[in-house]
Structure 1
Amino acid sequence: MVLITNTDDDIIRETEKTIGVKFDEIVTAQQAGAYKPSHKGFHLARERLGLPKSEIWHAGFGFKYDIVSATELGYTTVWVNRQGEARPVNVKETFLVGDMQTLVYLMQGIEVSMRE
């Protein structure tokens, strides 16, 4: 699991400690040399993972900064739409969930189906 964030390295180190989630990689805007919605952070994350784009899923809260960019790159996308916002542009996410818990259930279900 990779975190792609529009923050700097020093800020995300402290955030990672407080949220208690262990990421395989963290790609900051500072490392990528650009902020989302630029594709640079997405490309850097994919390079670090060494996976084909067909195996990459991107989940995010920001439609413009996360879902549009990931869709442009051909990734499977999950829009975590906590506020019930209307889709702002003519791009469609692969999956839509209303909260992080539902995202966890979705991912667990997919993991189980992949094992079968």
Structure 2
Amino acid sequence: MFKAVFLDFYGTLVHEDDVWIEAICNRILASSSVQATTGEIGRFWWDSFSSRFIPSYGNAFITQRKIELQALEETIAFFESTCNPEELCRILFNHWQAPPLFEDTVAFLRAIDVPPIIVSNIDRNDIEAAIQHNGLAFEHIITSEDARAYKPRADIFHQALHISNLKPEDVLHVGDSLTNDIIGAHNAGIRAAWINRKNKPTPQHCTPDYTVQSLTELIPLLKL
């Protein structure tokens, strides 16, 4: 029986910024002097963004806002676009602070009996604004900024366990990212549920303890 549930936030409880990412890629393409596609721009941007997570740790930690700005600056320069990276970042930051809920989020949070605890790769100010915007409440909120580490490093999960006074076997972590959430939780010895809303195939390198398409499927696991 689980004593608490750790929850990823973006992509799990609220919508990711996919729509805005696509819009930004279109803007970069429209102002670019390089032959490219929006797919190529998106892949370059993602590679630039994600590569900064690995060295961003401990004393070298950089907030997600700074990483996003650096990645967009590099992407805009590579594709010789005239876009303003700070202006494009503001589009994302506005979404981060006011993302829409998934339809099953409120029903899930109301039905479970164990305390919900947020464990998220985001800056604290952004997630607090998003939680307030959606009228939600959680037992604890642990961010990458607090742990000075990003998932899938175990550090952020260890900090969440310490703050909640729980052991790894007491907790189920729920998230939409196989790398960050499932592998990250397993790195800390925590069982993990993959919220697979788009019915993606499960790769061989990662095996979630549970796979669901809706949060409400997890309610029986989290009832006392």
Deviating more after overlay: 5-14 vs 81-90: 81-90
Structure (1/2) with the larger strand percentage: 1
Q: What residue is the counterpart of 1:110 in the other structure?
A: 221
Q: Of 211, 216, 219, which residue of structure 2 is paired with 1:96?
A: 211
Q: What residue is the counterpart of 1:20 in the other structure?
A: 135
Q: Deviations over 1:44-96 (max 9, x none)?
A: 10000111111111000111000011122221211000111122342211111
Q: What residue is the counterpart of 1:36 in the other structure?
A: 151
Q: Deviations over 1:83-116 (max 9, x none)?
A: 11122342211111002232xxx22x2344x5xx
Does residue 11 of the first structure (1) align with residue 126 of the second (2)? yes
Partners of 2:150 and 2:222 lie apart in 1 by 31
Q: Of 159, 177, 181, which residue of structure 2 is paired with 1:66?
A: 181
Residue type at the aligned position of 1:14: A
Q: What residue is the counterpart of 2:197 in the other structure?
A: 82
Alignment RMSD, CA only?
Answer: 1.5
Cα 1:111/1:58, change in 2 over 3 Å = closer
Contact 2:183 2:206 in 1 (8 A): yes
Partners of 1:63 and 1:111 lie apart in 2 by 21
Give the paired residue count.
109
For the pair shown, which has the larger CA radius of gyration, 1 or 2?
A: 2
Give the match's secondary structure for 1:43: helix
- For structure 2, the 5+ residue unaligned runs are 1-115
Partners of 2:214 and 2:141 lie apart in 1 by 22
Identity percentage over the alignment?
Answer: 26
Partners of 2:204 and 2:153 lie apart in 1 by 17
Name the structure, 1 or 2, with higher relative contact order (CA <8 Å, separation 6+): 2
What is the TM-score when the length of structure 1 is the normalising length?
Answer: 0.84
Cα 1:98/1:51, change in 2 over 3 Å = same
Residue type at the aligned position of 1:46: L
